[in-house]
Amino acid sequence: MSKPSPDVYEQGKGMDAHNQVMREIRSRKEASYDPHEPTRVWLDEDNTPGGVKRSLTIILNTGGCRWARAGGCTMCGYVAESVDGGSVSHEALMDQIDVCLEHEDENADEPAELIKIYTSGSFLDEREVGAETRRAIAETFADRDRIVLESLPDFVDREKIGDFTGHGIDTDIAIGLETATDRVRHDCVNKYFDFADFEDACTEAATADAEADDAEAGIKAYLLMKPPFLTESEAVEDMISSIERCADVEGCHTVSMNPCNVQRYTMVDELYFNDGYRPPWLWSVAHVLEETADTDAIVVSDPVGHGSDRGPHNCTECDDLVQKAIKDFDLRQDPSVFDQVSCECELTWETVMERERSFNQPLTR
Ligand code: SF4
Ligand SMILES: [Zn+2]
């Protein structure tokens, strides 16, 4: 498939049109922030190839996602903030890390074994996080077992990963692939890269893994369950095949499937408001996890905003129960957890799966 660019996509059509709409929607909200404070920080636990670990998740403020500024992805409510000078300094980024360490110190008994750093962009893009800062952060977390770093595939390379594995830290790069199907990624999500770029990033990670003496390196793929414009059954089919394709790529050991939720100031929100979008059923999430349980990768899902109209939901009666089964599956990878949940609304979901077509969706809300 050809690469989308203004040359192959006519002006005002395809990705160009998506970007125009997204820029207009995002511009309705202005945001500014303090470059010395992280966007968010929290403690949790996570399933990793090395077992379940206590985690510290950090969302760094790095000056923001360039793609969001261009227009960006149809479901992402991230508002392109502007920072004076367009980037965040080494000192400010290290202040953000200090704030996170203080948060951990105050709220946890011991240091987390797993550190996860997201930037709403690419941690490995040196225009966001320079080499000096990257190495200082690697040094700061040298005593931890494992680190997850978010990046677009373009910026993944073996040397940058080596800054972390060199300290003996197992390193995972989290890539927002969204789907393995290029057509869906380009036209429904409005993300510009190809599956082949993801495969290249996995090769870089596999090489870093082979070069590391006492640490592992790998890729964690983030997929989007039910982008706009797909019916429930198309979304399910797309997820099953995406998980299978990701699991087959050497270097990719984990797939995190994120059900789409309706965020403000997005194209998904516009569609939702006009009765043109329903977030996925939790039954769909459970079904995909069951169908892909025997693939050669850890498959997890953390439905955000479950049970609400703007988040993944069933009938409201059974939402908490199904969500709990999904969380159990995340930790144990045992599909039998889903045998223990049932509800009358499963029949409605099955009917939607069978009868919803793109011209009548959403068939129910
Ligand atoms: S999903 Fe990621 S790449 Fe897309 S606009 Fe949001 S922050 Fe940027
Ligand atoms: Zn129900």
DSSP code of residue 60: -
Count of C-beta atoms within a 10 Å radius of residue 213: 7
CA distance 19 to 113: 40
Residues with CB under 6 A from ligand 1: 65, 67-68, 72-73, 76, 78, 120, 176
DSSP code of residue 337: G
CA 146 to chain centre: 18
DSSP code of residue 274: T
Torsion of CA 290, 293, 295, 301, to 10 degrees: 80
From the alpha carbon of 65, which atom of ligand 1 is closest?
Answer: 8
CA 141 to chain centre: 23
Contact 259, 312 (CB under 8 A): yes
- CA-proximal residue: ligand 1, atom 7 (nearest): 120
Pick from 161, 148, 152: nearest CA to 127: 152
DSSP H/E element including 102: helix 90-107
Per-residue pLDDT at 2: 47
Ligand that comes closest to the CA of residue 283:
2
Contact 183, 136 (CB under 8 A): no
Task: Give the dihedral sign, CA 26/30/36/37.
Answer: negative
Residue-by-residue pLDDT tens, the chain, 365 positions: 445 554 445 566 788 888 888 888 877 766 667 889 998 999 998 877 788 899 999 999 887 677 888 888 999 987 655 454 567 899 999 999 999 999 999 999 999 999 999 987 899 999 899 999 999 999 999 999 999 999 999 999 999 999 999 999 999 999 999 999 999 999 999 999 999 999 999 999 999 999 999 999 999 999 999 999 999 999 999 999 999 999 999 999 999 999 999 999 899 999 999 999 999 999 999 999 999 999 999 999 989 999 999 999 999 999 999 999 999 999 889 999 999 999 999 999 999 999 999 888 888 88
Pocket test for ligand 1, best of 26, 74, 76, 222 (most atoms within 8 A of CB): 76
Query: What are the tokens at 68?
Result: 């969001």
β-bridge pairing 217-225 and 40-48: unpaired
Beta-strand ranges (E) seen in 7-166 are 40-48, 51-59, 114-118, 146-150
Contact 289, 335 (CB under 8 A): yes
* pTM exceeding 0.85: yes
Q: Where are the alpha helices (DSSP H) in 274-318?
A: 282-291
